[in-house]
């Protein structure tokens, strides 16, 4: 379609097009400017406690990326939280999505609406409201007395991931041909087997995408976590917030760059895999 | 056969709720119920300074929130609105080029938009602090060309805060606009070009209206987190640029004045909701999600 | 200690012996109760083991929270080598109020904060010891070196017999500046306000307001809000005129070095540490006088390792260890005999004895003042006005 849209060629149009391209290019530069700084400063050899002024190039930071033990511990904690929250949120959210796509029932619209609400609530309100929940025992939660820490962080992360998972999976399931399921059942397959053999393989890519999104959201979350983390559970973002005020070792930039490159690889592999799959599906039909 | 049908229908009647149950229960316990506890806290009083707050219809917390923090409320919404506008200006051409001229590289270009956000939010904002620093190249250049005075600065100004907000929530603008643009049938554009015989008018009459759902969703996705943010104002602003997020953070997590903090959060949420509803009403778009 | 508390503690101990912490117990009974709280119960059951800091058996360990730049690697290593106690040391205290807010939800409900020792400034120590009572006495048997505590620090108003607290270090609040940006020496608060470039003050109210009060000749030893009002007005004016651009904790260190700041209210030891990297950064005690404060080691009431935590502080009350620490952090040591040990160390450490910011002389001490105690009602007034000026209130 890019070819077809190039048929009209007035001079004004061409200049306009160049301008739009230029604006888009500048937009990309803007997006990447801080990223270049982050990666560049991972090679900096700062004088003193803060890695804020460029001094000289060194590979030392990359050769010793895990030097700051507290930072590494925080990263481990974040990974742990993200893993648990992702698994639980993915299961809960996928069920919700299946219910919404697979069945027509009264209240479906309401559920849709309720799912969107957590996404539109400002993070600071989510964090604040969870903190008030955890400050006191409540009858609704069988008077459980929460201690701020690992548990409360994981609960908060599941909460904001569930909606994302449900909506992502739902979006992926919309085009799904549910008659396949009925066909399998008509051929005598029991429901569990139908689910395992037919439904699950078809919805897996959607679930994986949703899980990746959850993981990324969880590992990056600062504001909500800041409200519900206890005094001794320091996630990666919270550690960075603390560090930013006291000392910023270049290892922060090294770890951030590693996460960045790791994500790019995951994204690239995912895209390639998705394209291959799409092509195969296209060939099949 | 008949018997199985009977069973199947029964399943249809009950199983959506079985599937929905755990997830919705979780959202009830950890999203809806906390809003109630927040409201309850906002009407509590403190028997003594460090005692746990007790519920008691303490409406004073709200009048306190309104009277004391008016400027921070206004500032938050003004900054967020400006950031949303800037994000729209930057995101639209980007989404447009990716959708209509991306061709084979579409996915890669989309990836490029998302990739910067795989680094942590705080680290990105700190990087802006470095970029905008008084001794940095950017300030040096702007001073040389005379845009900034010889002692002009960027860091710790409202501009830096708005810039940071724009940057940090930009992908939330690009992606919905892209999705809306990508859905447009190319034949429609060709038809519009034939009809209006002018790319600009075709763009204005056809593409812009069709991309409105994306613009609408994107604006909300930028505006809401930007209005509630405290990190950008904390790193890039000064004492005169603090936003409502900074106040809520300070009252909850420094002063531990939980009732007033809760009242502030509540008022903030209410204002956001009103703005969203008015916005939806003006634009008349029904699908937000 | 009431009977009821004893009973609860007894029950908790019994549960602990059964291998269940209270949290786990609640979580598990929660799971039984109709599975309503599936999530929390499940998580409490799997996360419960990590949080509680009990069982001090053969493998002894202690967990300490402190401010940044308040320790050296050498001291940490020496401690473990000498005592055989494993150390988890976290620099996560950036601001007294903020740290208080962080521990409040857990300590107010008698839940562990995962720390066996914390370090807070005098006025916050007062709150912890006398107002909220969230600390327990130091273990006197494990802390014989308490005898080395310097005389003037022995009987502060908030802890007359030093039963609950031991000073970790003292310091001076003054003005740090980058001479390249200011172009001239800073001698007074007015100089600081008039200096070109960006300037910041401290989020620590007693430091910032204290310096302003002293610059206006207002006594800080017995502060009241009505006396302090002119200082607040001056501070407010400086902020609205853009002379003071912001308030921070330790961040001024990086910004001064990077040239983003020309001057800042600052803590003596921090500046002594950065001067090594950047000789342009200097520290001045205003002619009107600086503020003197101490940070105090305390043991939260929820840990059962008071003895090990006391071992920790005892180690640093040995003059030799104290001297090694002082040479590294460059704050004033509370330990008698540190100057002699510093001299023995020779080199740079010995030179510190001549530095009044590290080993203060009597005439230098005479120019400093403490910020006296505020009662709760007064404190609320101070805090409210200050947080208004900070922009978050």
Q: Does residue C205 carry a pLDDT above 80?
A: yes
Question: What do you get for the CA distance between the two ends of chain A, in Å?
Answer: 23
Please determine, for residue C126, whether its predicted confidence score (pLDDT) is greater than 80. yes
**Taking residues C25-46, what's their average pLDDT?**
37
CATH number of C171-292+370-390: 3.40.190.10
pLDDT number for residue B160: 96
Interface contact B239-C37, CB threshold 8 A: no
Q: Quick one: pLDDT band at residue A195, thresholds 50, 70, 90?
A: confident
Q: What angle do CA A120, C44, C35 make, to 5 degrees?
A: 80
Cβ separation B193–A4 shorter than 8 A: no
* A residues 154-213 closer than 8 Å to B (CB): 155-156, 158-159, 162-163, 166-167
A124 shares contact with chain C (CB less than 8 Å): no
pLDDT, position B111: 87
Query: Closest chain C residue to A153 measured between Cα atoms?
Result: C43
Q: Is C198 on the interface with B (CB under 8 A)?
A: yes
- Which chains pack against A, by 3+ Cβ pairs within 8 A? B, C
What burial letters (b/e) apply to B203-220, b meaning 16+ CB within 10 Å? beebbeebbebbbbbbbb
Indicate if the pLDDT at residue C31 is higher than 50.
no
Partners of chain B (3+ Cβ pairs below 8 A): A, C
- Find out whether B124 and B168 touch, Cβ atoms under 8 Å: yes
**C contacts of A95 (beta carbons < 8 Å):** none
Separation in Å, CA of B14 to nearest CA in chain A: 10
- DSSP assignment letter at B116: G
Question: What angle in degrees, to the nearest 10, is found between the helix axes of B158-169 and B208-228?
Answer: 120
pLDDT of residue A10: 56
Domains in chain A, start-ordered, CATH in brackets? Answer: 4-60 (no CATH), 69-248 (1.10.3720.10)
Contact between A251 and A65 (Cβ < 8 Å): yes
Out of A79-88, B80-89, B192-201, C348-357, least confident range: B192-201
d(CA B145, nearest CA chain C) in Å: 20
Find the mean pLDDT for residues C164-168: 97
**% pLDDT > 70, chain C:** 85
Q: Does residue C111 register a pLDDT over 60?
A: yes
Judging contacts by C-beta atoms under 8 Å, the chain C residues touching residue A148 are 105-106
Cβ <8 Å between A248 and C257? no
Q: Does A145 touch chain B (CB under 8 A)?
A: no
Confidence at residue A3, expressed as pLDDT on a 0 to 100 scale: 40
Residues 53-72 of B with CB under 8 A from A: none
> At which residue do the structure tokens 């007005």 appear?
C233
Quick one: pLDDT at residue A173?
81
User: Which residue among B151, B246, B253 sits closest to C101, beta carbon to beta carbon?
Assistant: B253
> So what's the pLDDT on residue C392?
61
> For residue C41, what are its two tokens?
């119960």
Return the HEC string of C321-335. Answer: HHHHHHHHHCCECCE
Q: Place B28 in a pLDDT band, splitting at 50, 70 and 90.
A: very high
Q: For the packed helices A69-102 and A251-284, what is the interaxial angle rounded to 10 degrees?
A: 30
Q: How far apart, in whole angstroms, are the C-alpha atoms of residue B164 and residue B152?
A: 18
**In this model, does residue A239 exceed pLDDT 80?**
yes
User: What's this model's pTM, rounded to 2 decimal places?
Assistant: 0.87
What local confidence, expressed as pLDDT, does residue B283 receive? 73
Inter-chain residue contact B133 with C100, CB threshold 8 Å? no
Residue predicted with more confidence, A32 or B105 = A32
Enumerate domains of chain B plus CATH numbers: 67-283 (1.10.3720.10)
Q: Identify the CA nearest to C251 among candidates B127, B154, A245.
A: A245
Residue C14: band (very low, low, confident or very high) from pLDDT cuts 50, 70, 90: very low
* Cβ-defined contact of B239 to C38 (cutoff 8 Å): no
Question: Which of B233-242, C9-18, C322-331, C375-384 is least confident?
Answer: C9-18
Q: Among C30, C51, C72, pick the best mutation site for testing chain A contact (most A Cβ within 10 A).
A: C51
| B152: contact with A, CB 8 A cutoff | no
Q: Is the pLDDT of residue C1 over 50?
A: no
**Does the structure show a pLDDT above 80 at C259?**
no
Mutate to test the interface with C, among A232, A239, A240 (most CBs of C within 10 A): A232
Which residues 70-89 in chain B show a CB within 8 A of chain A?
A: none
Residue C200 scores a pLDDT above 80: yes
User: Which residues make Cβ contacts (< 8 Å) with residue C228, sequence separation at least 6?
Assistant: C209, C213, C218, C382
Q: Is the pLDDT of residue C97 over 90?
A: yes
From CA A280, how far away is CA A235, in angstroms rounded?
A: 41
Higher model confidence: residue B152 or residue B265? B265
Tell me what percent of chain B is helix, strand and coil, each rounded to the nearest 5.
80, 0, 20
Asked whether the predicted pLDDT for residue B235 surpasses 90, the reply is yes
Pull the structure tokens for residue C241.
């005129």
Estimate to the nearest angstrom the gap between the alpha carbon of A195 and the chain centroid: 27
Chains meeting C at 3+ CB pairs closer than 8 A?
Answer: A, B
- On whether any CB of chain C is under 8 Å from the CB of A110, the answer is no
In the predicted model, is pLDDT for residue B261 greater than 70? yes
b (16+ CB within 10 A) / e for C80-113: eeebebebbbbbbbbbbbbbbbbbbbbbebbbbb
**Per-residue pLDDT band at C10 (split at 50, 70, 90):** low
Right CATH for C61-169+294-358 from 2.60.40.420, 3.40.190.10, 3.40.830.10, 3.40.50.300: 3.40.190.10
Which of residues 170 through 229 in chain B touch C, CB cutoff 8 A?
Answer: none
Smallest CA–CA distance from A54 into chain C, residue: C258
Name the percent of chain A lying above pLDDT 70: 93
Give me the residues of A, 4-63, that contact C with CB < 8 A: 47-50, 52-53
Verify whether the Cβ–Cβ distance C108 to B52 is below 8 Å: yes
Do the domains C171-292+370-390 and C61-169+294-358 match in fold?
A: yes
- For position B36, what pLDDT does the model report? 95
Residue B147 per-residue DSSP state: S
The mean per-residue pLDDT over the stretch B97-105 comes to 87
C389·B239 Cβ contact <8 A: yes
Q: Which of B271-280, C35-44, C144-153, C216-225 has the lowest mean pLDDT?
A: C35-44
Residue C24 is predicted with a pLDDT of 40
Q: Reply yes or no on whether the pLDDT at B53 is more than 50.
A: yes
C246 in helix, strand or coil? Answer: strand
For residue A151, give the nearest of C47, C90, C277 by CB distance.
C47
Closest chain C C-alpha to A242 CA, distance in angstroms? 7
Q: Running DSSP on this structure, what letter comes out for residue C304?
A: S
> What's residue A281's pLDDT?
66
Distance from CA of C245 to the nearest CA of B (A): 5
What pLDDT is recorded for position B5? 46
Partners of B30 on chain A (C-beta within 8 Å) are 130, 133, 155-156, 158-159
- Return the pLDDT at C76: 96
Name the residue among C40, C50, C69 with its Cβ closest to that of A155: C40
Q: Nearest residue of B to residue A118 by CA position?
A: B31
Rounded Cα distance between A21 and A15, Å, is: 10
CB-nearest to A151 from C40, C250, C259 is: C40
Task: Give me the count of residues in chain B.
Answer: 289
- Give the pLDDT of residue A103: 81
Return the pLDDT at C16: 42
Identify which has the larger pLDDT, B197 or C191: C191
Place of tokens 């202690």: C62
Q: How confident is the model at residue C29 (pLDDT cuts 50, 70, 90)?
A: very low
pLDDT value of position C358:
93
C390 and B50 within 8 Å at the Cβ level: the answer is no
Asked if the model's pLDDT at residue C352 lies above 50, the reply is: yes
Q: Does A31 sit within 8 Å of B170, measured CB to CB?
A: yes
Indicate the residue of C36, C97, C239 with minimum beta-carbon distance to B255: C97
Band (pLDDT 50/70/90 cuts) for residue C45 is very low
Q: Which pLDDT score, from 0 to 100, does residue A105 have?
A: 81
pLDDT of A8 above 80: no
Q: What are the residue boundaries of the structural domains of chain C, listed by start?
A: 3-50, 61-169+294-358, 171-292+370-390
When pLDDT is averaged across residues A235-253 and rounded to a whole number, the result is: 91
Q: Distance (Å) from the C-alpha of residue B37 to the closest C-alpha of chain C?
A: 15
What average pLDDT score do residues B111-127 get? Answer: 92
How many whole angstroms separate alpha carbon A91 and alpha carbon C127?
A: 46
Residue where the block lists tokens 């308030």: C247
Calculate mean pLDDT across residues C310-318.
97
Q: End-to-end distance of chain C based on CA atoms, in angstroms?
A: 39
- Cβ of C392 within 8 Å of Cβ of B250? The answer is yes
Per-chain mean pLDDT for chain C:
85
pLDDT, one tens digit per residue, over A140-160 is 877 788 899 999 999 999 999
Separation of alpha carbons A38 and C321, rounded Å: 39
Q: Closest residue of C to A80, CA-based?
A: C47
pLDDT averaged over every residue in chain A? 86
Residue A70 or residue C316, greater confidence: C316
What pLDDT shows up at residue B259?
96
Q: Which structure tokens are listed for A275?
A: 């394209």
pLDDT of residue B3 exceeding 60, the answer is no
The stretches of chain C forming alpha helices (DSSP H) are 3-17, 22-32, 38-51, 73-83, 96-107, 122-126, 179-182, 189-194, 205-215, 225-240, 252-258, 268-277, 306-316, 319-329, 338-345, 347-351, 362-366, 376-390
């Amino acid at each position: 379609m890019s070819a077809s849209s190039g048929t009209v060629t007035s001079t004004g149009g061409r200049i306009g097009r160049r301008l739009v391209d230029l604006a888009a290019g500048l937009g990309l530069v803007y997006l990447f400017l801080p990223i270049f700084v982050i990666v560049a400063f991972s090679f900096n050899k700062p004088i003193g406690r803060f890695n804020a002024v460029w001094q000289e190039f060194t590979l030392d930071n990359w050769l010793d990326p895990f030097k700051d033990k507290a930072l590494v511990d925080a990263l481990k904690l974040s990974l742990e939280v993200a893993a648990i929250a992702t698994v639980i949120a993915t299961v809960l959210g996928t069920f919700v999505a299946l219910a919404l796509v697979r069945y027509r029932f009264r209240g479906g619209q309401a559920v849709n609406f309720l799912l969107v609400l957590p996404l539109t609530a400002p993070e600071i309100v989510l964090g604040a409201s969870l903190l008030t929940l955890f400050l006191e025992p409540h009858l609704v939660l069988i008077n459980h007395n929460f201690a701020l820490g690992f548990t409360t962080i994981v609960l908060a992360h599941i909460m904001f991931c569930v909606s994302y998972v449900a909506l992502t999976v739902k979006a992926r399931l919309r085009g799904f041909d549910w008659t396949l399921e009925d066909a399998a059942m008509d051929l005598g397959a029991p429901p569990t087997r139908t689910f395992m053999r037919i439904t699950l393989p078809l919805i897996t890519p959607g679930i994986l995408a949703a899980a990746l999104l959850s993981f990324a959201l969880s590992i990056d979350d600062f504001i909500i976590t800041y409200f519900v983390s206890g005094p001794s559970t320091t996630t990666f973002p919270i550690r960075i917030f603390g560090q930013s005020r006291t000392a910023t070792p270049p290892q922060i930039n090294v770890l951030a760059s590693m996460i960045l490159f790791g994500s790019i690889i995951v994204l690239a592999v995912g895209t390639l895999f998705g394209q291959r799959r799409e092509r195969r599906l296209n060939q099949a039909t | 056969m008949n018997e199985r049908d009977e069973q199947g229908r029964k399943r249809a009647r009950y199983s959506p709720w079985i599937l929905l149950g755990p997830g919705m229960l979780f959202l009830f316990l950890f999203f809806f119920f906390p809003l109630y506890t927040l409201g309850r806290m906002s009407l509590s009083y403190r028997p003594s300074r460090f005692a746990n707050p007790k519920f008691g219809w303490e409406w004073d917390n709200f009048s306190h929130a309104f009277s004391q923090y008016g400027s921070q409320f206004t500032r938050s919404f003004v900054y967020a609105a400006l950031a949303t506008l800037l994000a729209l200006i930057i995101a639209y051409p980007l989404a447009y080029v990716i959708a209509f001229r991306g061709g084979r590289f579409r996915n890669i270009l989309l990836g490029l938009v998302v990739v910067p956000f795989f680094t942590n939010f705080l680290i990105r904002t700190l990087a802006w602090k470095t970029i905008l620093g008084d001794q940095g190249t950017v300030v040096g250049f702007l001073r040389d060309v005379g845009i900034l005075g010889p002692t002009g600065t960027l860091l710790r100004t409202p501009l830096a805060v708005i810039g940071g907000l724009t940057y940090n929530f930009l992908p939330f603008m690009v992606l919905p606009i892209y999705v809306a643009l990508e859905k447009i049938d190319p034949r429609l554009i060709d038809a519009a070009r034939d009809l209006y015989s002018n790319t600009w008018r075709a763009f204005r009459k056809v593409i812009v209206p069709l991309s409105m759902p994306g613009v609408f969703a994107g604006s909300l996705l930028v505006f809401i987190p930007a209005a509630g943010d405290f990190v950008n104002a904390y790193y890039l602003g000064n004492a005169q640029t603090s936003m409502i997020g900074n106040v809520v953070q300070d009252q909850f997590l420094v002063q531990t004045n939980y009732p007033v903090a809760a009242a502030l959060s509540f008022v903030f949420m209410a204002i956001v909701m009103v703005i969203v509803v008015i916005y939806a009403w003006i634009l008349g778009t029904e699908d937000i999600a | 200690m009431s009977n009821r508390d004893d009973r609860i503690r007894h029950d908790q101990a019994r549960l602990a012996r059964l291998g269940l912490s209270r949290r786990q117990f609640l979580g598990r009974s929660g799971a039984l109760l109709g599975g309503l709280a599936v999530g929390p119960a499940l998580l409490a059951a799997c996360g419960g083991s990590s949080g509680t800091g009990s069982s001090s058996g053969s493998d002894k360990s202690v967990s300490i929270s402190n401010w940044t730049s308040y320790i050296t690697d050498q001291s940490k290593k020496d401690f473990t080598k000498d005592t055989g106690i494993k150390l988890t040391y976290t620099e996560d205290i950036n601001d007294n109020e903020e740290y208080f807010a962080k521990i409040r939800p857990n300590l107010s409900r008698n839940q562990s904060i995962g720390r066996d020792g914390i370090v807070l400034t005098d006025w916050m120590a007062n709150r912890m010891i006398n107002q909220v009572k969230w600390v327990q006495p130091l273990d006197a048997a494990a802390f014989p070196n308490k005898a080395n505590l310097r005389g003037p620090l022995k009987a502060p108003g908030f802890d007359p017999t030093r039963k609950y607290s031991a000073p970790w270090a003292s310091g001076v609040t003054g003005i740090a500046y980058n001479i390249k940006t200011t172009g001239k020496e800073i001698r007074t608060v007015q100089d600081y306000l008039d200096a070109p470039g960006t300037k910041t003050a401290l989020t620590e109210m007693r430091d910032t307001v204290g310096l302003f009060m002293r610059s206006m000749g207002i006594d800080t030893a017995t502060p009241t809000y009505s006396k302090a009002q002119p200082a607040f007005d001056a501070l407010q004016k400086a902020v609205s005129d853009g002379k003071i651009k912001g308030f921070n904790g330790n961040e001024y260190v990086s910004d001064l070095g990077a040239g983003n700041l020309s001057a800042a209210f600052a803590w003596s030891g921090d500046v002594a540490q950065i001067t090594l990297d950047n000789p342009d950064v200097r520290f001045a005690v205003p002619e009107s006088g600086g503020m003197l404060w101490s940070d105090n080691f305390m043991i939260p009431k929820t840990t059962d390792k008071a003895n090990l935590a006391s071992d920790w502080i005892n180690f640093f009350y040995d003059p030799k260890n104290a001297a090694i620490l002082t040479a590294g952090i460059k704050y004033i040591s509370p330990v008698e005999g540190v100057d002699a040990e510093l001299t023995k160390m020779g080199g740079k450490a010995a030179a510190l004895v001549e530095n009044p910011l590290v080993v203060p002389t009597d005439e230098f001490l005479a120019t400093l003042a403490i910020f006296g105690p505020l009662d709760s009602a007064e404190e609320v007034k101070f805090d409210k006005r200050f947080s208004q000026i900070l922009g978050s209130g």
